């Protein structure tokens, strides 16, 4: 084993032409990417770039205008990933036109923003705490790097390098620079991407500076507030925990505040730790990871239960109906998870990456690709809206996916994740190939100057049988490291039909040999329906059970099971059966089983009844659970992940 860190196998080398993700990517290309572009246009976000030069302002000025550029950046990034594997000249020409406009909007000093130059010139860099210039920069940088990697064209990359240089000239510990850092982290991980692509160490150093300066005294957010004539107490969020700046980062022990900010920041820290070998940052990353994933993560990989701060509250606090669990936060957790693996190779990170992708992230998009969730609750009831109960009161309707948000961070985020799923599928460390995600695809590997193609054939996540077919011109030695997921209790490996004894190291079954063309490795992951019980401190679902099969969390919907799901109980002895339904949602495995409905008869309309005078009635019925990520794709109704256990 070479003593270097594993890296993802790039997107371009992973061809996805069938199976679970091919269909999701097709919908993303054909529906989601165009739909988001239309919204960017309609809302003035596209026109704002040329408007900077022509002084034509967008139709309406809104309080989220300061964050507009991040939406463009993420959309461009999604387009880049899509173009990388599915070239589309028409889409590319739209992107190129946008890139020209972005280039045209750049100021002489490299500054790039559609809000401040015309709408508030004096506001430039005046409020890093709230005004998102560096957050926008990060997303534009990510888009630029992705676009260069997809197309080989440098224009966008050069524009963003100039902006990064402008930022580097403005912020830092050196004399004459502002000691600022972003209120909404994101640029840290983007700068590491820019460093990796360009080899320019200043970008890595700038990212490291942002991490090191964060939360230090004298507090930059205090200083800049004073310059604006405000005091610390005027901060709407009341606490710098909101933006993970309440203490120097290396002293922090818990995941805090706004969940998306937190996970982007932590992902950036992991990147910096990997690139710099900073042991303290590795320790910090593990500490924050353990806190978040062992005390503050929903079963579906969503994080941040609270609407009020879009973020964390306290350990084991897991409200279900009102779970915020922002789509972006689950996605950011997946980003962080992958980086943690590369920093500290262990399947436990990828297990959570898979959980967050297949459940709390994917639920953010409708099956038809044009409906989005911002919040991803674990139970739904008419009139309850996890985006704030108020909304529910107004319309008393069902919480449904919508086609856009006032602050539309989630739509392009889920779009870019789907477009780039190939990049999460494998990691390589010298001659060891980690298989991270199981799904139908074909990966081209380069090992010691030679290449081979490995085909992965599987119905995963509907089935646990996975076959790897080797296509190689000549024999090639390498090690396959097959992730054995945390939910899997039993597995078997066969090579060319012969059962193999394999060792498992840090969650990976290792198969090392000289592979030849036509070799077929089969992995069978037992995938029974699992009953999941919550930690004893999770009060909201005490005494309840959830169903999981393979990487998928399941839920009951009213469409299959009728209303009043709170009265449904799953007996601990109930036989639970996974059944593939080829018709439903284009083909999914559902879970069927016996349940009890325990409730008083409808004749008794008393709000409260005395036990001694009346017992409840039990009736058995056959329930059907569907994968959680597919909820709210049929007629509106109740939904529940956690069910009473009896």
Catalytically active residues are: 310, 409
Whole-number minimum distance, CB 616 to a second copy, in Å?
7
Tokens coding 481 = 């490291």
Between residues 176 and 610, which has the closer beta carbon with respect to a second copy? 610
Mark residues 280-309: x for contact with a second copy by CB under 8 A, - for none.
-------------xxx-x-x------xxxx
- At 575 the three-state DSSP class reads coil
Q: Pick from 115, 87, 97: which is nearest to 29 by CA?
A: 87
Least spacing, CB of residue 70 vs a second copy, in Å: 25
If one asks whether residue 402 binds a second copy (CB under 8 A), the answer comes out as no
One of 158, 317, 560, 592 touching a second copy (CB under 8 A):
317
- Nearest approach in angstroms of CB 233 to a second copy is 12
Helix (H) or strand (E) holding 482: strand 476-483
CB of 630 to a second copy, least distance (A): 21
Using rule CB under 8 A, residue 599 touches a second copy = yes
Which C-beta is closer to a second copy: that of 466 or that of 545?
Answer: 545
510 lies in the binding site for a second copy (CB under 8 A): no
Cβ within 8 Å of residue 372, ≥6 positions away: 327, 364, 365, 366, 401, 402, 403, 404, 405, 408, 410, 411, 414
Instruction: Read off the tokens for 356.
Output: 């967050």
CB-CB contact of 646 with 571 (8 Å): yes
Q: Which stretch binds a second copy (CB under 8 A): 48-56, 60-68, 585-593, 612-620?
A: 612-620
Neighbours of 345 (CB within 10 A): 20
Q: Candidates 42-50, 216-224, 497-505, 607-615: pick the segment binding a second copy (CB under 8 A).
A: 607-615
- By C-alpha distance, which of 586, 604, 594, 548 is closest to 570? 594
| 295 contacts 277 by C-beta, under 8 angstroms | no
| Among 65-73, 143-151, 277-285, 567-575, the segment contacting a second copy (CB under 8 A) | 567-575
- Give the interface segment with a second copy, choosing from 140-148, 408-416, 526-534, 623-631 (CB under 8 A): 526-534
CA 517 vs. chain centroid, Å, equals 36
Establish if 62 lies at the interface with a second copy (CB under 8 A): no
Strands (E), 359-404: 379-380
Residue appearing with tokens 């996974």? 578
Q: Provide, rounded to whole angstroms, the least separation between the CB of residue 610 and a second copy.
A: 5
Query: In the chain, how long is the greatest CA-to-CA distance?
Result: 81
Query: Taken in order 622, 628, 633, 636, is the CA torsion positive or negative?
Result: positive
The CA-atom distances, in angstroms, between 406 and each of 4, 41, 366, 368 are 44, 14, 18, 21
Smallest distance, a second copy to C-beta of residue 313, A? 5
Binding residue for a second copy (CB under 8 A) from 3, 536, 573, 575? 536
Q: Based on CB atoms, which residue is closest to a second copy, 69 or 351?
A: 351
**Cβ closer to a second copy: 55 or 613?**
613
Residue 149 Cβ vs a second copy, minimum distance, rounded to whole Å: 36
Among 154, 177, 400, 539, interactor with a second copy by CB under 8 A: 539
Report the site for a second copy in 613-632 (rule: CB under 8 A). Answer: 613-614, 616
Q: Which stretch binds a second copy (CB under 8 A): 51-59, 278-286, 334-342, 593-601?
A: 593-601
The two three-digit tokens of residue 318, written as one number: 């897991």
Q: Position of tokens 């890093």?
A: 128
Q: Which is nearer to a second copy, 167 or 299 (CB)?
A: 299
- Interaction of residue 561 with a second copy, rule CB under 8 A: no
Q: What gap in Å lies between CA 453 and CA 156, rounded to an integer?
A: 32
Find out whether 526 and 485 touch, Cβ atoms under 8 Å: no
> Residue 132 is encoded by which pair of tokens?
């998102």
In angstroms, the CA 74 to CA 139 distance is 6
| Residue placing its CB nearer to a second copy in the complex, 24 or 258 | 258
User: How many residues contact a second copy, by CB under 8 A?
Assistant: 68
Tokens for 546? 């959830």
Residue from 89, 218, 497, 602 binding a second copy (CB under 8 A): 602
- Site membership for a second copy, residue 594 (CB under 8 A): no
Nearer to a second copy, 429 or 544 (CB): 544
Q: Pattern 359-398, binding to a second copy, x per CB under 8 A? A: ----------------------xxxx---xxx-xxx-x--
Q: Among candidates 362, 344, 575, which has minimal Cα distance to 461? A: 362
Binding part of the chain for a second copy, among 32-40, 182-190, 263-271, 608-616 by CB under 8 A, reads 608-616
Q: Taking the complex as a whole, how short is the minimal distance between the CB of residue 599 and a second copy, in angstroms?
A: 4
The burial class, CB within 10 Å (0-12 / 13-18 / 19+), for 220 is buried
Instruction: For residues 312 and 296, give the distance between their C-alpha atoms in angstroms, rounded to a whole number.
Output: 7
Name the minimum Å distance from CB 627 to a second copy.
17
**Residue 617 near residue 529 (C-beta atoms within 8 A):** no
Asked whether position 236 contacts a second copy by CB under 8 A, the answer is: no
Least distance CB 506 / a second copy (angstroms): 18
Q: Are 627 and 588 in contact (CB under 8 A)?
A: yes
Rg (CA), the chain: 25
Structure tokens at 500: 């193999």
User: In this structure, how many other beta carbons lie within 10 angstroms of the beta carbon of residue 527?
Assistant: 25
User: Between 539 and 622, whose beta carbon lies closer to a second copy?
Assistant: 539
Residue 84 vs residues 34, 38, 89, 146: alpha-carbon distances, Å: 17, 22, 12, 9
In whole angstroms, the minimum distance from the beta carbon of 539 to a second copy comes to 4
Binding footprint of a second copy on the chain (CB under 8 A): 238-239, 241, 293-295, 297, 299, 306-309, 312-314, 317, 381-384, 388-390, 392-394, 396, 487, 489, 528, 530-540, 542-543, 545-546, 564-567, 569, 572, 598-600, 602, 604-614, 616, 644
């Amino acid at each position: 084993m070479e003593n270097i860190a594993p890296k993802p196998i790039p997107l371009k080398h992973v061809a996805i032409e069938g199976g679970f993700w091919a269909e999701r990517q097709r919908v993303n290309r054909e529906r989601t990417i165009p739909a988001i572009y239309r919204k960017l246009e309609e809302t003035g976000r596209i026109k704002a770039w040329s408007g900077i030069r022509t002084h034509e302002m967008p139709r309406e000025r809104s309080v989220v205008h300061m964050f507009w550029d991040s939406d463009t950046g993420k959309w461009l990034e999604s387009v880049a990933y899509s173009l990388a594997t599915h070239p589309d000249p028409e889409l590319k020409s739209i992107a190129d036109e946008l890139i020209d406009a972005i280039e045209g909007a750049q100021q002489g000093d490299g500054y790039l923003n559609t809000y401040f130059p015309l709408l508030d010139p004096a506001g430039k860099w005046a409020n890093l705490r709230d005004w998102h210039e560096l957050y926008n920069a990060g997303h534009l940088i990510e888009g630029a790097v992705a676009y260069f990697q997809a197309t080989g064209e440098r224009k966008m990359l050069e524009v963003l390098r100039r902006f990064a240089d402008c930022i580097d000239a403005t912020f830092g510990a050196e004399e004459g620079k502002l000691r600022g850092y972003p209120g909404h982290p994101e640029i840290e991980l983007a700068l590491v991407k820019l460093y990796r692509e360009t080899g320019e160490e200043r970008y890595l150093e700038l990212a490291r500076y942002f991490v090191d300066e964060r939360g230090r005294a004298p507090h930059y957010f205090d200083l800049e507030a004073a310059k604006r004539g405000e005091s610390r107490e005027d901060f709407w969020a009341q606490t710098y925990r909101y933006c993970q700046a309440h203490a120097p980062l290396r002293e922090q022990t818990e995941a805090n505040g706004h969940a998306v900010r937190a996970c982007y920041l932590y992902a950036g820290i992991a990147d910096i730790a990997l690139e710099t070998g900073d042991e303290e940052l590795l320790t910090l990353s593990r500490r924050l990871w353990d806190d978040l994933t062992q005390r503050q993560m929903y079963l579906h990989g969503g994080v941040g239960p609270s609407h009020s701060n879009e973020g964390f509250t306290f350990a084991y606090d897991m409200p279900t109906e009102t779970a915020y669990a922002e789509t972006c936060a689950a996605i950011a957790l997946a980003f962080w998870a992958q980086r943690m693996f590369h920093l500290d190779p262990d399947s436990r990170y990828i297990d959570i990456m898979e959980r967050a992708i297949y459940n709390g992230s994917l639920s953010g998009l409708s099956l038809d690709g044009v409906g989005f969730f911002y919040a991803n609750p674990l139970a739904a009831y008419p009139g309850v809206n996890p985006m704030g109960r108020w909304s529910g009161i107004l319309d008393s309707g069902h919480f449904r996916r919508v086609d856009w948000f006032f602050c539309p961070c989630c739509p392009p985020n889920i779009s870019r994740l789907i477009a780039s799923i190939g990049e999460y599928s494998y990691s390589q460390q010298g001659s060891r190939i980690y298989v991270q995600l199981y799904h139908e695809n074909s990966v081209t590997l380069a090992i010691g100057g030679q290449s081979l193609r490995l085909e992965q054939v599987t119905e995963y996540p509907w089935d646990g049988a996975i076959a790897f077919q080797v296509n190689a011109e000549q024999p090639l030695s390498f090690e396959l490291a097959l992730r054995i997921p945390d939910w899997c209790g039993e597995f078997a490996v066969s090579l060319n039909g012969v059962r193999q004894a394999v060792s498992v190291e840090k969650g990976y079954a290792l198969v090392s040999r000289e592979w030849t063309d036509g070799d077929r490795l089969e992995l069978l992951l037992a995938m029974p329906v699992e009953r999941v019980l919550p930690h004893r401190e999770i009060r909201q679902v005490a005494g309840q059970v959830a169903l999981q099969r393979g990487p998928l969390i399941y839920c009951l919907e009213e469409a299959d099971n009728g209303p009043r799901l709170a009265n449904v109980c799953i007996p601990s002895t109930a036989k639970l059966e996974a059944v593939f339904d080829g018709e439903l949602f284009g083909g999914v495995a559902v879970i069927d089983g016996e349940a009890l409905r325990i409730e008083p008869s409808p004749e008794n309309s008393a709000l409260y009844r005395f036990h001694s005078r009346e017992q409840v009635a039990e009736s058995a019925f056959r329930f059907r659970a569907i994968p959680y990520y597919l909820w709210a794709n049929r007629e509106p109704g109740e939904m529940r992940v956690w069910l009473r256990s009896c």
